[in-house]
Structure 1
Amino acid sequence: MDILKKENIIMGAKLTNQDEAVEYAGKLLVDSGYVDESYIDLMKEREKVMSTYMGNGLAIPHGVAKSREGNVIKNSGIVVIQVPEGVDFGNGNKAYMVIGIAGKDNQHLDILANIATIFSEEKNVEEMISAKDAGEIYKKFTQSV
């Protein structure tokens, strides 16, 4: 199973708050067969412990450690949501890219490292926020991964 499928890149989303963004990312992960429904609650639990806003216009909602127990995560995968107007992730932090992740067998560490590499370059961030189609964003991820 592909970690990122083109159809899991959502363009031009309008999200009103952090909870909605996390719920949306979680639902996409569920609908794509990466996780079961309980993962969404584990993602929300993570936000209560610590915001997944990473800086540079990026939020990476994901589950708490216990989400790796049992079969909550079926396959490693990511979903990418472009939010051109931004969504508030608290403390004045606006996320323009929300990337939901699920990593099976500790693959989340590799996934996070790849995302961090891509988002460490301001140019990449700006290009993804202003991208007009999913192919542009897909290319950024597949070239770097």
Structure 2
Amino acid sequence: MYKDILSMNNIQLNVGHMDKEEAIRYTGQILVNQGYVEPSYIEKMLERERVTSTYMGNFVAIPHGVEESKKEVVASGISVVTVPSGVDFDGNTVKILIGIAGKGDEHLEILSQIAIVLSEMENIEKLISTSSKEEVINLFNEVN
């Protein structure tokens, strides 16, 4: 069964205030709910965050599991969550969270596509301000 890496159900826009752990859990829960990962993957995302921050700069964090969590990935997918009020990631403000689950080595390709989209501040500003899931899909259309 083929699953889109990013679908409308994987996107949550204009989410209210939350702390870093809640934000990571929220991002991971979308991946669980849509059948991309086993529920235990969320704990692996939090473990990754304890090892090294997934804050990437430009208001973006990309939570993902540790290397050993690959066995908990059912299908490659991403979740996109925007928090316009911001989430404190150890002194850095995150307004866009992109949860990643990659089957095998697919996460590297997914990451490179996301990096291309997020390398332009204009795209980041669009993501933060949009209320359209279609616009998010269009911005990330290279990932699918």
TM over 0.5: yes
**1:102 equivalent in alignment to 2:97:** no
Match of 1:17 in 2: 19
CA–CA distance in structure 2, aligned partners of residues 130 and 57 of structure 1: 13
- In structure 2, stretches of 5+ residues that fail to align are none
TM-score by length of 2: 0.95
CA–CA distance in structure 2, aligned partners of residues 116 and 15 of structure 1: 25
Match of 2:140 in 1: 141
Tell me the CA shift for residue 101 of structure 1: 0.5
TM-score by length of 1: 0.94
Aligned residues: percent identity? 48
CA–CA distance in structure 2, aligned partners of residues 80 and 126 of structure 1: 14
Match of 2:79 in 1: 79
CA–CA distance in structure 1, aligned partners of residues 126 and 47 of structure 2: 31
3-state secondary structure, aligned to 2:36: coil
Which structure 1 residue ranges, 4+ long, deviate > 6 Å from structure 2?
Answer: none
- In structure 1, stretches of 5+ residues that fail to align are none
Tell me the CA shift for residue 15 of structure 1: 3.5
User: What RMSD, in angstroms, separates the aligned Cα atoms of the two structures?
Assistant: 0.9
Give the number of equivalent residue pairs: 141
